[in-house]
Amino acid sequence: MESPLVLVEHDGPVAVVTINRPDKLNALNLAVLRALTTAFHALLVGEPPPRAAILTGAGDKAFVAGADIAEMRALAPAQAKAMSDTGHRLGALLEAAPFPVLAAVNGFALGGGCELALACDFIYASDRAKFGQPEVNLGVIPGFGGTQRLGRRVGVGRARELVYTGDILDAQAALGIGLVNAVVPHAELRAKVLEVAHKIASKGPLAVAQAKRVMLRGADADLAVANELEAQAFGGLFGSADQREGMAAFLEKRKAAFTGG
């Protein structure tokens, strides 16, 4: 029996989602994209939902080495567009989730793999990780958001250079341009990302969700509009049990016990 394409584990309030196709370096095909979408939909409706999630790849070589070229090569234009739409829906789902999604990049993150990591809130990389959008080597362009999210992450000029040349960056170079948040020794990656995810999970979940929503929606808005989004979210949180608990805990010099209410 084949292993599931996507594995989901729970470490307390943290969900760990693993793309489980190590024999193909976790390459993305339509089935994997659909399985990831199903997995994250299930987390969204879980009771309770996680307070943070980690996305990573199985094995010791790749987060996601790219899209499955053997499957893609025979696609007609309409089929390719449909696959791109599926990838975009997954990226939008990760961005819209009320909990942060942290990418733990444990190896190659090329093409669709880099795009998947870019849809996460931020990225931690193994010192063995490699990043790039090499689609021009295949006569196509990034199709899961790379032409858009990469520039928003590292700046338009640097993104154009990477997309046009198809160059591959090692982890330190990716850190240097702001593509990743930190580089850690390969053997310590999972522990490091779990540590950060649990730190986030200990905070007020409504506050974290609103911070994520406002930062995403305000990123491309006029500053005045974005600041109004912030003010509305700030005010709205004052009607929550978490706000009352958080401020009471601060004044009483104890750890807050947030419930998400």
Active site residues: 115, 135
Task: Determine contact, residues 249/255, Cβ cutoff 8 Å.
Answer: yes
Phi, psi of 79 (to 5 degrees): -70, -40
Q: Which of 76, 67, 178, 175 is nearest to 129 (CA)?
A: 175
Distance of CA 161 to the CA centre of its chain: 23
Count CB neighbours of 213 within 10 A.
16
How do the residues of the chain divide into helix, strand and coil, expressed in percent and rounded to 5?
50, 15, 30
CB 208 within 8 Å of CB 256: no
Q: Is 223 helix (H, G, I), strand (E, B) or coil?
A: helix
Query: Closest Cα partner for 120 from 72, 64, 165, 171?
Result: 64
For every residue of 109-122, DSSP letters joined together read EETHHHHHHHTSSE
Residue 178 exposed, middle or buried by CB count within 10 Å (0-12, 13-18, 19+): exposed
